[in-house]
Amino acid sequence: MSLFPAPSPSGVSVRPVNDEFHGDLLEISMGPHHPSTHGVFRMQVTLDGETIVKLKPVFGYLHRNHEKLGENTTYLASMPYTDRLDYLNSMTNNWAYAIAVEKLAGQPVPERAEYLRIILAELTRLLNHTCLAGFLLQDSGAMGTPLMYAFREREKILELFEALSGSRMMCNFQRFGGCRVDASPAWLAAAQGVVDAYGSFLDEFEALLTGNEILMARTQGTGVLTPQLAINASVTGPLLRATGVDYDIRKVDAYGLYSRFNFRVPLGAHGDTYDRYMIRILEMRESIKILQQALRELPAGPVMDPKAKLRGFRPKAGEAYGRIEGPKGEIGFYLISDGSPNPYRYRVRPPSFVNLTILEDMCLGQTIADAVIILGSVDIVLGEVDR
């Protein structure tokens, strides 16, 4: 056993576990009950002093049989279950599932519904990234205050969701061929108010935090992810773009009507935790631009295709994969139909589960306290990781 081991895939030199020359290594178990594991996630960490030499994630504490239930219920009955995948972002989960089924059935969507979907998805992105920034700063030691600000803004967006869909978190709003209900002029005016005020909230939030010296010292150079590793591990979303790879499904696929919108894709340069925080802040500013355009150009018309069939829905035999750029990355649904009312196979491509696979590579050589903020910057939701 060499004293100078080969560097790990992420380029960090870490000596092997159980090296007789050095002192004892300490194995600790973080979670499933731990205040900063964002749910019931567990990490088996091996420490040399304070430095992480091995990290093994343990999943499955929230495995709720989502995919098996999806095969035993009808297509429409799976829609409320998708809300509970990533329970912060029910609107984007609904949309990804609706796209998959619409591909399967060849179902067109009216223009107004596409605009409404974009409005709701971008509001969801604002909500998710705001909450993420709050939780990340909570993890890095800013107890309470940033999270209070984040949840204050979250409540404003949740009010909009509740007014439209009847539920704060579990919206169950999209249907195959459109949206469930139309947005009233009063709702659109309220949404415009929230969107107009969001920029000043971000200014306030950034004035408090972005240039903060403690935050910079804590996050810059922490948990560096290389673009090569990110691509090889099929990491998507803000985590990938923070490494400098220009890949956004809104641009690549141009699903929905995103090709009509002018927005930029912010990219990071270092791939560290600070970049991942900044990417989210910049993406929120782009989302505000998209929302302003969408609310300005929202066309009149129906929100549901008149030929869409909800009851007795049986798509012809075949398979389809529908994906969108969710706030956490590529969320996709893969469906195989055998012509019956239930899907033959129902598979979710969860962004935060795939993004979590490179956690060990980011954490090696860092201290145990940094593992907490690296995990926070990956942005996991256990409902989606374990499904």
Chain positions contacting another protein, by CB under 8 A: 32-35, 39-40, 60-65, 68-69, 72, 80-81, 84, 87-88, 147-148, 151-152, 154-155, 168-170, 382-383
Q: What angle do CA 284, 290, 295 make, to 5 degrees?
A: 125
Q: Which is nearer to another protein, 68 or 316 (CB)?
A: 68
Comparing CB distances to another protein, the nearer of 5 and 144 is 144
DSSP string, 116-132: HHHHHHHHHHHHHHHHH
Write the CB contacts of 68 (distance below 8 Å, at least 6 apart in sequence): none
d(CA 269, CA 210) in angstroms, rounded, equals 16
Decide whether 90 or 287 has the Cβ nearer to another protein.
Answer: 90
Judged by CB, which is closer to another protein: 10, or 93? 93
DSSP state string for 267-325? --SS-SHHHHHHHHHHHHHHHHHHHHHHHHHPPPS-SB-TT---TT--PPSEEEEEEEE
Q: How many angstroms separate the CA atoms of 56 and 360, rounded?
A: 7
Q: Name the E strands within the chain.
A: 26-30, 42-48, 51-58, 174-175, 178-179, 318-326, 329-337, 343-349
**Minimum CB distance to another protein, residue 64 (Å):** 4
Beta bridge partners, 26, equal: 47
Residues 70, 305: Cα–Cα separation, whole Å = 24
Nearest distance from C-beta of residue 156 to another protein, angstroms? 10
Q: How many CB atoms neighbour CB 335 within 10 A?
A: 25
Least distance (Å) between residue 294 CB and another protein: 26
Measured from the CB atom, the residue of 78 and 107 that comes closer to another protein is 78
> Which of 65/228 has CB closer to another protein?
65
* Closer residue to another protein in complex, CB, 69/267: 69
Nearer to another protein, 242 or 372 (CB): 372
Minimum distance, C-beta of residue 311 to another protein, in the bound complex (Å): 20
Contacts of 133 (CB under 8 A, 6+ apart): 146, 150, 205, 209, 277, 280, 281
Tell me the Ramachandran region of residue 28: left when phi exceeds 0, alpha when psi lies from -120 to 50, beta otherwise: beta
The least CB distance from residue 92 to another protein, in Å, is 15
Closest CA to 85 of 282, 357, 349, 345: 349
From the CB of 154, what's the least distance to another protein, in Å?
7
CB of 91 to another protein, least distance (A): 15
Nearest-approach distance from CB 84 to another protein, in angstroms: 6
Minimum CB–partner distance for residue 232 and another protein (Å): 30
Query: Which of residues 27 and 155 has its CB atom nearest to another protein in the complex?
Result: 155
Q: Whole-angstrom Cα distance, residue 49 to residue 188? A: 55
Q: Which is nearer to another protein, 59 or 321 (CB)?
A: 59
Distance (Å, whole) CA 32 – CA 44: 10
Q: H-type helices in 110-169, by residue range?
A: 111-139, 145-165
Single-letter code of the amino acid located at 114: E
DSSP-derived pairing of the beta strands 343-349 and 329-337: antiparallel
Smallest gap from Cβ 67 to another protein, in A, equals 10
